Structure 1
Protein backbone atom coordinates (compact mmCIF):
# COMPACT_ATOMS: atom_id res chain seq x y z
CA UNK A 1 0.00 0.00 0.00
CA UNK A 2 2.89 2.35 0.70
CA UNK A 3 3.76 2.24 -3.03
CA UNK A 4 0.28 3.58 -3.84
CA UNK A 5 0.78 6.45 -1.39
CA UNK A 6 4.17 7.33 -2.90
CA UNK A 7 2.80 7.12 -6.45
CA UNK A 8 -0.02 9.52 -5.56
CA UNK A 9 2.47 11.94 -3.99
CA UNK A 10 4.72 11.72 -7.06
CA UNK A 11 1.81 12.61 -9.37
CA UNK A 12 1.05 15.61 -7.17
CA UNK A 13 4.68 16.77 -7.14
CA UNK A 14 5.01 16.28 -10.90
CA UNK A 15 2.27 18.89 -11.27
CA UNK A 16 3.67 21.15 -8.58
CA UNK A 17 7.11 21.14 -10.21
CA UNK A 18 5.78 22.48 -13.50
CA UNK A 19 3.72 25.18 -11.77
CA UNK A 20 6.47 26.12 -9.30
CA UNK A 21 8.98 26.56 -12.14
CA UNK A 22 6.79 28.97 -14.14
CA UNK A 23 8.55 31.94 -15.74
CA UNK A 24 5.61 34.33 -15.25
CA UNK A 25 6.43 35.52 -11.74
CA UNK A 26 4.26 32.91 -10.03
CA UNK A 27 5.46 29.78 -8.27
CA UNK A 28 9.00 30.09 -6.95
CA UNK A 29 9.78 33.23 -8.96
CA UNK A 30 12.69 31.42 -10.58
CA UNK A 31 13.56 34.30 -12.90
CA UNK A 32 15.63 35.90 -10.15
CA UNK A 33 18.09 33.00 -10.18
CA UNK A 34 18.57 33.49 -13.90
CA UNK A 35 18.81 37.27 -13.88
CA UNK A 36 21.01 37.59 -10.76
CA UNK A 37 24.07 35.33 -10.76
CA UNK A 38 24.49 35.89 -6.99
CA UNK A 39 20.89 35.08 -6.02
CA UNK A 40 20.41 32.52 -3.26
CA UNK A 41 17.16 30.99 -2.07
CA UNK A 42 15.75 32.39 1.16
CA UNK A 43 15.98 28.88 2.64
CA UNK A 44 19.72 28.54 1.99
CA UNK A 45 20.32 32.13 3.08
CA UNK A 46 18.64 31.30 6.41
CA UNK A 47 20.73 28.14 6.73
CA UNK A 48 24.12 29.78 6.13
CA UNK A 49 25.06 30.60 9.74
CA UNK A 50 24.67 26.94 10.77
CA UNK A 51 25.71 25.55 7.39
CA UNK A 52 29.14 27.17 7.53
CA UNK A 53 31.68 27.28 4.70
CA UNK A 54 30.96 24.59 2.11
CA UNK A 55 33.50 25.70 -0.47
CA UNK A 56 34.78 22.63 -2.28
CA UNK A 57 32.46 20.25 -0.42
CA UNK A 58 30.85 17.28 -2.18
CA UNK A 59 27.15 17.79 -1.46
CA UNK A 60 24.03 15.77 -2.15
CA UNK A 61 20.69 17.54 -1.79
CA UNK A 62 17.97 14.99 -1.09
CA UNK A 63 14.40 15.76 -2.22
CA UNK A 64 15.66 18.76 -4.16
CA UNK A 65 12.41 19.61 -6.02
CA UNK A 66 13.09 22.16 -8.82
CA UNK A 67 16.59 22.93 -7.60
CA UNK A 68 16.46 26.48 -6.23
CA UNK A 69 18.19 25.44 -3.00
CA UNK A 70 20.46 23.06 -4.93
CA UNK A 71 21.88 25.73 -7.24
CA UNK A 72 22.17 28.05 -4.23
CA UNK A 73 24.45 25.51 -2.55
CA UNK A 74 26.51 25.34 -5.74
CA UNK A 75 26.79 29.13 -5.74
CA UNK A 76 28.34 28.84 -2.27
CA UNK A 77 31.19 26.87 -3.82
CA UNK A 78 30.10 23.27 -3.40
CA UNK A 79 30.00 20.47 -5.96
CA UNK A 80 26.35 19.48 -5.76
CA UNK A 81 24.15 16.59 -6.80
CA UNK A 82 20.38 17.00 -6.46
CA UNK A 83 18.02 14.03 -6.16
CA UNK A 84 14.24 13.94 -6.43
CA UNK A 85 11.57 11.32 -7.15
CA UNK A 86 9.65 13.55 -9.57
CA UNK A 87 10.66 13.38 -13.23
CA UNK A 88 9.17 16.82 -13.85
CA UNK A 89 11.06 18.28 -10.90
CA UNK A 90 14.38 16.94 -12.18
CA UNK A 91 13.61 18.23 -15.69
CA UNK A 92 12.79 21.69 -14.34
CA UNK A 93 15.83 21.67 -12.05
CA UNK A 94 18.15 20.89 -14.96
CA UNK A 95 16.51 23.60 -17.05
CA UNK A 96 16.85 26.18 -14.27
CA UNK A 97 20.49 25.33 -13.54
CA UNK A 98 21.30 25.54 -17.26
CA UNK A 99 19.60 28.93 -17.66
CA UNK A 100 21.24 30.22 -14.49
CA UNK A 101 24.68 29.02 -15.64
CA UNK A 102 25.24 26.79 -12.61
CA UNK A 103 26.82 23.36 -12.85
CA UNK A 104 24.73 20.84 -10.89
CA UNK A 105 24.06 17.15 -11.47
CA UNK A 106 20.47 16.00 -11.00
CA UNK A 107 19.33 12.40 -10.50
CA UNK A 108 15.76 11.09 -10.62
CA UNK A 109 15.25 8.58 -7.82
CA UNK A 110 13.19 7.97 -4.71
CA UNK A 111 15.14 9.17 -1.68
CA UNK A 112 14.75 5.69 -0.15
CA UNK A 113 16.84 4.34 -3.06
CA UNK A 114 19.43 7.13 -3.02
CA UNK A 115 22.24 4.97 -1.62
CA UNK A 116 21.75 2.56 -4.52
CA UNK A 117 21.72 5.32 -7.15
CA UNK A 118 24.62 7.41 -5.83
CA UNK A 119 28.12 6.43 -4.67
CA UNK A 120 28.01 5.44 -1.03
CA UNK A 121 30.31 7.09 1.47
CA UNK A 122 31.30 9.84 -0.95
CA UNK A 123 29.57 13.02 0.25
CA UNK A 124 30.95 15.58 2.66
CA UNK A 125 27.48 17.02 3.22
CA UNK A 126 23.99 15.57 2.96
CA UNK A 127 21.56 18.48 2.79
CA UNK A 128 17.79 18.29 3.21
CA UNK A 129 15.65 21.39 2.99
CA UNK A 130 12.32 22.38 4.43
CA UNK A 131 9.15 20.33 3.89
CA UNK A 132 10.78 17.02 2.97
CA UNK A 133 10.53 14.46 5.77
CA UNK A 134 6.73 14.50 5.95
CA UNK A 135 6.63 12.66 2.60
CA UNK A 136 8.60 9.69 3.94
CA UNK A 137 6.91 6.76 5.71
CA UNK A 138 9.93 5.72 7.80
CA UNK A 139 12.39 8.03 9.50
CA UNK A 140 14.64 5.06 10.31
CA UNK A 141 14.98 4.19 6.62
CA UNK A 142 15.82 7.82 5.82
CA UNK A 143 18.50 7.96 8.52
CA UNK A 144 20.05 4.81 7.03
CA UNK A 145 20.26 6.45 3.61
CA UNK A 146 21.94 9.51 5.11
CA UNK A 147 24.51 7.39 6.93
CA UNK A 148 25.22 5.35 3.80
CA UNK A 149 25.81 8.44 1.64
CA UNK A 150 28.06 10.33 4.06
CA UNK A 151 31.82 10.01 3.81
CA UNK A 152 33.66 9.46 7.10
CA UNK A 153 33.77 12.85 8.80
CA UNK A 154 30.85 14.06 6.67
CA UNK A 155 27.91 16.10 7.94
CA UNK A 156 24.14 16.05 7.67
CA UNK A 157 22.38 19.42 7.63
CA UNK A 158 18.61 19.43 7.77
CA UNK A 159 16.16 22.19 8.48
CA UNK A 160 12.57 21.08 8.64
CA UNK A 161 9.13 22.09 9.80
CA UNK A 162 8.76 21.21 13.46
CA UNK A 163 6.64 18.11 14.18
CA UNK A 164 4.57 20.16 16.61
CA UNK A 165 3.67 22.43 13.68
CA UNK A 166 2.64 19.45 11.54
CA UNK A 167 0.36 18.43 14.44
CA UNK A 168 -1.55 21.72 14.40
CA UNK A 169 -5.03 22.21 12.97
CA UNK A 170 -4.78 25.35 10.87
CA UNK A 171 -8.57 25.53 10.41
CA UNK A 172 -9.41 26.02 14.10
CA UNK A 173 -9.13 29.39 15.87
CA UNK A 174 -6.20 29.66 18.22
CA UNK A 175 -3.45 27.08 18.45
CA UNK A 176 -4.94 23.60 18.63
CA UNK A 177 -3.33 20.18 18.28
CA UNK A 178 -5.20 17.65 16.15
CA UNK A 179 -2.90 15.38 14.16
CA UNK A 180 -0.38 12.75 15.35
CA UNK A 181 2.97 14.01 16.56
CA UNK A 182 4.62 10.59 16.38
CA UNK A 183 5.23 8.49 13.29
CA UNK A 184 2.25 6.32 12.39
CA UNK A 185 2.05 3.31 10.13
CA UNK A 186 -0.84 4.81 8.16
CA UNK A 187 -0.37 8.29 6.69
CA UNK A 188 -2.62 11.32 6.91
CA UNK A 189 -4.62 11.72 3.71
CA UNK A 190 -5.18 15.14 2.14
CA UNK A 191 -7.19 16.32 -0.86
CA UNK A 192 -6.26 19.83 -1.93
CA UNK A 193 -5.89 21.49 -5.33
CA UNK A 194 -3.62 24.23 -4.00
CA UNK A 195 0.03 24.52 -3.07
CA UNK A 196 2.04 26.65 -0.65
CA UNK A 197 2.95 29.36 -3.17
CA UNK A 198 0.83 31.25 -5.69
CA UNK A 199 0.48 29.29 -8.93
CA UNK A 200 -1.36 29.88 -12.19
CA UNK A 201 -3.68 26.85 -12.10
CA UNK A 202 -5.18 24.38 -9.62
CA UNK A 203 -3.68 20.93 -9.25
CA UNK A 204 -5.44 17.97 -10.84
CA UNK A 205 -3.63 15.25 -8.83
CA UNK A 206 -5.00 16.52 -5.55
CA UNK A 207 -4.67 13.55 -3.20
CA UNK A 208 -1.50 13.32 -1.07
CA UNK A 209 -0.28 11.31 1.93
CA UNK A 210 2.00 12.48 4.74
CA UNK A 211 3.71 11.06 7.81
CA UNK A 212 4.82 13.07 10.83
CA UNK A 213 8.00 12.16 12.74
CA UNK A 214 8.61 13.28 16.31
CA UNK A 215 11.81 15.17 17.04
CA UNK A 216 12.96 12.39 19.38
CA UNK A 217 12.31 9.80 16.69
CA UNK A 218 14.45 11.74 14.21
CA UNK A 219 17.34 12.23 16.61
CA UNK A 220 17.22 8.61 17.77
CA UNK A 221 17.15 7.30 14.20
CA UNK A 222 20.33 9.25 13.41
CA UNK A 223 22.04 8.09 16.61
CA UNK A 224 21.09 4.48 15.88
CA UNK A 225 22.88 4.80 12.52
CA UNK A 226 26.08 5.82 14.25
CA UNK A 227 25.87 9.56 13.64
CA UNK A 228 26.76 12.15 16.26
CA UNK A 229 24.35 15.03 16.92
CA UNK A 230 26.40 18.24 16.78
CA UNK A 231 23.57 20.77 16.93
CA UNK A 232 19.82 20.87 17.44
CA UNK A 233 18.35 24.35 17.12
CA UNK A 234 14.64 25.17 17.23
CA UNK A 235 13.36 28.26 15.40
CA UNK A 236 10.29 30.47 15.85
CA UNK A 237 9.74 30.83 12.11
CA UNK A 238 9.16 28.81 8.95
CA UNK A 239 9.50 29.85 5.28
CA UNK A 240 5.81 29.66 4.32
CA UNK A 241 2.51 30.78 5.87
CA UNK A 242 1.88 27.51 7.64
CA UNK A 243 -0.99 28.86 9.76
CA UNK A 244 -2.87 31.24 7.45
CA UNK A 245 -4.16 34.43 9.01
CA UNK A 246 -2.09 34.00 12.17
CA UNK A 247 1.37 34.72 10.85
CA UNK A 248 3.44 37.75 9.88
CA UNK A 249 6.11 37.67 7.20
CA UNK A 250 9.55 38.86 8.23
CA UNK A 251 12.01 40.70 5.94
CA UNK A 252 13.97 37.48 5.36
CA UNK A 253 10.94 35.67 3.90
CA UNK A 254 10.25 33.72 7.11
CA UNK A 255 6.80 33.59 8.72
CA UNK A 256 6.30 33.80 12.50
CA UNK A 257 3.24 33.80 14.71
CA UNK A 258 1.78 37.31 14.87
CA UNK A 259 0.77 36.89 18.51
CA UNK A 260 3.08 35.23 21.01
CA UNK A 261 5.79 34.22 18.51
CA UNK A 262 7.74 32.53 21.31
CA UNK A 263 4.93 30.16 22.31
CA UNK A 264 5.98 27.25 20.06
CA UNK A 265 8.77 26.18 17.71
CA UNK A 266 7.90 26.22 14.02
CA UNK A 267 11.03 24.66 12.54
CA UNK A 268 14.33 23.15 13.63
CA UNK A 269 17.86 22.54 12.35
CA UNK A 270 19.86 19.39 13.02
CA UNK A 271 23.54 19.00 12.24
CA UNK A 272 24.91 15.50 12.63
CA UNK A 273 28.25 14.01 11.64
CA UNK A 274 29.60 10.60 10.71
CA UNK A 275 32.70 9.65 12.71
CA UNK A 276 35.91 9.77 10.73
Structure 2
Protein backbone atom coordinates (compact mmCIF):
# COMPACT_ATOMS: atom_id res chain seq x y z
CA UNK A 1 0.00 0.00 0.00
CA UNK A 2 2.84 2.36 0.85
CA UNK A 3 4.88 1.67 -2.29
CA UNK A 4 2.36 3.14 -4.82
CA UNK A 5 2.01 6.28 -2.69
CA UNK A 6 5.78 6.76 -2.49
CA UNK A 7 6.08 6.16 -6.24
CA UNK A 8 3.29 8.65 -6.94
CA UNK A 9 5.00 11.27 -4.79
CA UNK A 10 8.23 10.74 -6.71
CA UNK A 11 6.49 10.91 -10.10
CA UNK A 12 4.60 14.07 -9.14
CA UNK A 13 7.85 16.04 -9.11
CA UNK A 14 8.85 14.89 -12.61
CA UNK A 15 7.70 15.20 -16.20
CA UNK A 16 7.09 11.42 -16.32
CA UNK A 17 5.35 10.43 -19.54
CA UNK A 18 4.97 6.95 -21.01
CA UNK A 19 6.14 8.21 -24.40
CA UNK A 20 8.90 10.56 -23.22
CA UNK A 21 12.41 9.18 -23.74
CA UNK A 22 13.68 10.66 -20.46
CA UNK A 23 12.20 11.67 -17.13
CA UNK A 24 13.44 14.88 -15.51
CA UNK A 25 12.90 16.45 -12.12
CA UNK A 26 10.59 19.46 -12.49
CA UNK A 27 10.05 20.47 -8.88
CA UNK A 28 6.62 21.95 -8.17
CA UNK A 29 5.79 22.61 -11.83
CA UNK A 30 3.02 20.00 -11.95
CA UNK A 31 1.38 21.40 -8.83
CA UNK A 32 1.54 25.05 -9.87
CA UNK A 33 0.24 24.17 -13.33
CA UNK A 34 -2.70 22.24 -11.88
CA UNK A 35 -3.69 24.99 -9.44
CA UNK A 36 -4.01 27.37 -12.39
CA UNK A 37 -5.55 24.85 -14.79
CA UNK A 38 -9.22 25.48 -15.60
CA UNK A 39 -9.97 21.79 -16.23
CA UNK A 40 -8.56 20.80 -12.85
CA UNK A 41 -10.52 23.52 -11.05
CA UNK A 42 -13.68 22.45 -12.90
CA UNK A 43 -13.08 18.84 -11.84
CA UNK A 44 -12.66 20.03 -8.25
CA UNK A 45 -15.97 21.92 -8.47
CA UNK A 46 -17.74 18.90 -10.00
CA UNK A 47 -16.33 16.64 -7.27
CA UNK A 48 -17.51 19.03 -4.56
CA UNK A 49 -21.07 19.18 -5.94
CA UNK A 50 -21.25 15.43 -6.44
CA UNK A 51 -19.89 14.73 -2.96
CA UNK A 52 -22.45 17.06 -1.36
CA UNK A 53 -25.25 15.19 -3.16
CA UNK A 54 -23.84 11.80 -2.20
CA UNK A 55 -23.42 12.80 1.45
CA UNK A 56 -26.81 14.50 1.95
CA UNK A 57 -29.27 12.37 -0.04
CA UNK A 58 -28.39 8.86 1.25
CA UNK A 59 -28.08 10.18 4.81
CA UNK A 60 -31.54 11.76 4.81
CA UNK A 61 -33.27 9.00 2.83
CA UNK A 62 -31.41 6.25 4.70
CA UNK A 63 -32.58 7.63 8.03
CA UNK A 64 -36.17 7.80 6.77
CA UNK A 65 -36.01 4.20 5.54
CA UNK A 66 -34.46 3.04 8.83
CA UNK A 67 -37.26 4.68 10.81
CA UNK A 68 -39.86 2.97 8.61
CA UNK A 69 -38.20 -0.45 8.89
CA UNK A 70 -37.51 -0.31 12.63
CA UNK A 71 -40.35 -2.72 13.33
CA UNK A 72 -40.77 -6.42 14.01
CA UNK A 73 -42.16 -8.84 11.43
CA UNK A 74 -40.97 -10.89 8.48
CA UNK A 75 -42.05 -8.24 5.95
CA UNK A 76 -39.80 -5.58 7.45
CA UNK A 77 -36.89 -8.02 7.64
CA UNK A 78 -37.40 -8.86 3.96
CA UNK A 79 -37.52 -5.17 3.03
CA UNK A 80 -34.23 -4.57 4.83
CA UNK A 81 -32.60 -7.16 2.57
CA UNK A 82 -34.21 -5.64 -0.52
CA UNK A 83 -32.89 -2.15 0.29
CA UNK A 84 -29.39 -3.55 0.87
CA UNK A 85 -29.17 -5.41 -2.46
CA UNK A 86 -27.86 -2.40 -4.49
CA UNK A 87 -24.98 -2.02 -2.03
CA UNK A 88 -23.53 -5.43 -2.92
CA UNK A 89 -23.88 -4.90 -6.67
CA UNK A 90 -20.92 -3.52 -8.58
CA UNK A 91 -20.98 0.11 -9.69
CA UNK A 92 -20.76 -1.04 -13.31
CA UNK A 93 -23.88 -3.22 -13.05
CA UNK A 94 -25.85 -0.46 -11.34
CA UNK A 95 -24.70 2.10 -13.91
CA UNK A 96 -25.59 -0.09 -16.90
CA UNK A 97 -29.10 -0.71 -15.54
CA UNK A 98 -29.74 2.96 -14.80
CA UNK A 99 -28.25 4.02 -18.12
CA UNK A 100 -30.78 1.82 -19.92
CA UNK A 101 -33.60 3.26 -17.81
CA UNK A 102 -32.57 6.89 -18.36
CA UNK A 103 -32.14 6.89 -22.14
CA UNK A 104 -34.62 8.86 -24.24
CA UNK A 105 -36.61 5.67 -24.91
CA UNK A 106 -35.93 4.17 -21.49
CA UNK A 107 -38.38 3.25 -18.77
CA UNK A 108 -38.29 6.60 -16.95
CA UNK A 109 -39.04 8.78 -19.98
CA UNK A 110 -41.61 6.29 -21.27
CA UNK A 111 -43.50 6.63 -17.98
CA UNK A 112 -43.20 10.42 -18.10
CA UNK A 113 -44.62 10.52 -21.62
CA UNK A 114 -47.52 8.33 -20.55
CA UNK A 115 -48.21 10.91 -17.82
CA UNK A 116 -48.37 13.73 -20.36
CA UNK A 117 -44.80 15.06 -20.35
CA UNK A 118 -44.17 15.90 -24.02
CA UNK A 119 -40.42 16.49 -23.75
CA UNK A 120 -38.84 14.48 -20.93
CA UNK A 121 -35.39 15.57 -19.72
CA UNK A 122 -32.20 14.13 -21.15
CA UNK A 123 -31.10 12.74 -17.81
CA UNK A 124 -27.58 11.85 -18.93
CA UNK A 125 -27.32 13.96 -22.09
CA UNK A 126 -28.28 17.38 -20.71
CA UNK A 127 -25.19 19.16 -19.29
CA UNK A 128 -27.37 20.98 -16.75
CA UNK A 129 -28.71 17.85 -15.05
CA UNK A 130 -26.30 15.01 -15.93
CA UNK A 131 -24.21 15.51 -12.78
CA UNK A 132 -27.31 15.44 -10.58
CA UNK A 133 -28.45 12.24 -12.31
CA UNK A 134 -25.11 10.61 -11.55
CA UNK A 135 -25.34 11.84 -7.96
CA UNK A 136 -28.83 10.36 -7.64
CA UNK A 137 -27.67 6.96 -8.95
CA UNK A 138 -24.72 6.79 -6.54
CA UNK A 139 -27.01 7.92 -3.72
CA UNK A 140 -29.53 5.24 -4.64
CA UNK A 141 -26.85 2.58 -4.44
CA UNK A 142 -25.60 3.81 -1.04
CA UNK A 143 -29.06 4.28 0.50
CA UNK A 144 -29.25 0.70 1.77
CA UNK A 145 -25.87 0.98 3.50
CA UNK A 146 -26.93 4.13 5.35
CA UNK A 147 -30.30 2.60 6.27
CA UNK A 148 -28.66 -0.49 7.80
CA UNK A 149 -26.21 1.61 9.84
CA UNK A 150 -29.01 3.86 11.10
CA UNK A 151 -31.18 0.83 11.82
CA UNK A 152 -28.42 -0.65 13.97
CA UNK A 153 -28.23 2.66 15.81
CA UNK A 154 -31.98 2.78 16.34
CA UNK A 155 -32.04 -0.72 17.78
CA UNK A 156 -29.25 0.24 20.17
CA UNK A 157 -31.22 3.08 21.79
CA UNK A 158 -32.31 1.97 25.30
CA UNK A 159 -36.09 1.63 25.45
CA UNK A 160 -36.02 3.03 28.99
CA UNK A 161 -35.09 6.45 27.62
CA UNK A 162 -38.14 6.51 25.34
CA UNK A 163 -40.37 5.41 28.21
CA UNK A 164 -38.97 8.07 30.55
CA UNK A 165 -39.44 10.78 27.92
CA UNK A 166 -43.01 9.61 27.25
CA UNK A 167 -43.80 9.75 30.98
CA UNK A 168 -42.51 13.33 31.03
CA UNK A 169 -45.03 14.17 28.31
CA UNK A 170 -42.73 14.21 25.27
CA UNK A 171 -44.46 13.47 21.97
CA UNK A 172 -43.00 11.35 19.11
CA UNK A 173 -41.18 14.27 17.45
CA UNK A 174 -39.69 15.54 20.73
CA UNK A 175 -38.60 12.02 21.68
CA UNK A 176 -36.89 11.65 18.32
CA UNK A 177 -35.15 15.02 18.59
CA UNK A 178 -34.08 14.73 22.22
CA UNK A 179 -33.54 10.97 22.62
CA UNK A 180 -33.17 9.13 19.32
CA UNK A 181 -31.21 11.64 17.23
CA UNK A 182 -28.40 12.23 19.77
CA UNK A 183 -28.00 8.46 20.10
CA UNK A 184 -27.62 8.17 16.32
CA UNK A 185 -24.51 10.38 16.29
CA UNK A 186 -22.09 7.41 15.83
CA UNK A 187 -24.20 6.13 12.91
CA UNK A 188 -24.19 9.61 11.35
CA UNK A 189 -20.41 9.75 11.70
CA UNK A 190 -19.91 6.37 10.00
CA UNK A 191 -22.28 7.18 7.14
CA UNK A 192 -20.95 10.67 6.51
CA UNK A 193 -17.30 9.65 6.37
CA UNK A 194 -18.07 6.67 4.12
CA UNK A 195 -20.17 8.83 1.80
CA UNK A 196 -17.48 11.52 1.67
CA UNK A 197 -14.96 8.95 0.47
CA UNK A 198 -17.50 7.50 -1.98
CA UNK A 199 -18.14 10.93 -3.49
CA UNK A 200 -14.49 11.86 -3.83
CA UNK A 201 -13.45 8.57 -5.43
CA UNK A 202 -16.41 8.36 -7.84
CA UNK A 203 -15.14 6.96 -11.14
CA UNK A 204 -16.92 3.77 -12.27
CA UNK A 205 -20.39 5.31 -12.41
CA UNK A 206 -19.13 8.29 -14.40
CA UNK A 207 -17.11 6.16 -16.82
CA UNK A 208 -20.15 4.04 -17.67
CA UNK A 209 -22.91 6.67 -17.51
CA UNK A 210 -21.38 9.79 -19.07
CA UNK A 211 -17.66 9.27 -19.72
CA UNK A 212 -17.08 12.70 -18.18
CA UNK A 213 -19.61 14.44 -20.42
CA UNK A 214 -21.90 15.54 -21.86
CA UNK A 215 -19.87 18.41 -23.21
CA UNK A 216 -16.47 19.13 -21.74
CA UNK A 217 -15.96 17.91 -18.20
CA UNK A 218 -19.51 18.45 -16.93
CA UNK A 219 -19.33 15.24 -14.89
CA UNK A 220 -15.55 14.73 -14.80
CA UNK A 221 -14.55 14.34 -11.15
CA UNK A 222 -11.01 14.46 -9.79
CA UNK A 223 -10.80 10.66 -9.79
CA UNK A 224 -12.00 10.52 -13.39
CA UNK A 225 -9.52 13.26 -14.39
CA UNK A 226 -6.64 11.38 -12.74
CA UNK A 227 -7.35 8.27 -14.80
CA UNK A 228 -7.82 10.25 -18.01
CA UNK A 229 -4.63 12.24 -17.48
CA UNK A 230 -2.52 9.26 -16.47
CA UNK A 231 -3.75 6.52 -18.80
CA UNK A 232 -5.35 8.31 -21.75
CA UNK A 233 -3.10 11.36 -22.05
CA UNK A 234 -0.15 9.41 -20.59
CA UNK A 235 0.96 12.37 -18.44
CA UNK A 236 2.01 10.26 -15.47
CA UNK A 237 3.72 13.04 -13.53
CA UNK A 238 0.76 15.40 -13.75
CA UNK A 239 -1.69 12.61 -12.89
CA UNK A 240 0.38 11.71 -9.82
CA UNK A 241 0.34 15.32 -8.64
CA UNK A 242 -3.42 15.44 -9.18
CA UNK A 243 -3.91 12.21 -7.21
CA UNK A 244 -1.84 13.51 -4.30
CA UNK A 245 -3.78 16.77 -4.19
CA UNK A 246 -6.97 14.73 -4.09
CA UNK A 247 -5.54 12.53 -1.33
CA UNK A 248 -4.70 15.58 0.79
CA UNK A 249 -8.17 17.08 0.24
CA UNK A 250 -9.91 13.83 1.21
CA UNK A 251 -7.70 13.38 4.29
CA UNK A 252 -8.22 16.95 5.51
CA UNK A 253 -11.98 17.07 4.86
CA UNK A 254 -12.56 13.62 6.36
CA UNK A 255 -10.52 14.47 9.46
CA UNK A 256 -12.35 17.76 10.03
CA UNK A 257 -15.78 16.19 9.52
CA UNK A 258 -14.87 13.21 11.71
CA UNK A 259 -13.65 15.44 14.54
CA UNK A 260 -16.77 17.64 14.29
CA UNK A 261 -19.21 14.73 14.28
CA UNK A 262 -17.49 12.83 17.08
CA UNK A 263 -18.09 15.80 19.39
CA UNK A 264 -21.83 15.09 19.07
CA UNK A 265 -21.53 11.48 20.17
CA UNK A 266 -22.82 10.59 23.61
CA UNK A 267 -21.99 7.69 25.89
CA UNK A 268 -24.67 5.70 27.67
TM-score interval, normalised by the smaller of the two chains? under 0.3
- Give the TM-score normalised by structure 2: 0.22
More helix by share: 2
TM-score (norm 1): 0.22
Q: Which structure is larger by alpha-carbon Rg, 1 or 2?
A: 2
Of Structure 1 and Structure 2, which has the larger fraction of its residues in strand? 1
Task: Choose between structure 1 and 2 for higher RCO, CA contacts under 8 A separated by at least 6 residues.
Answer: 2
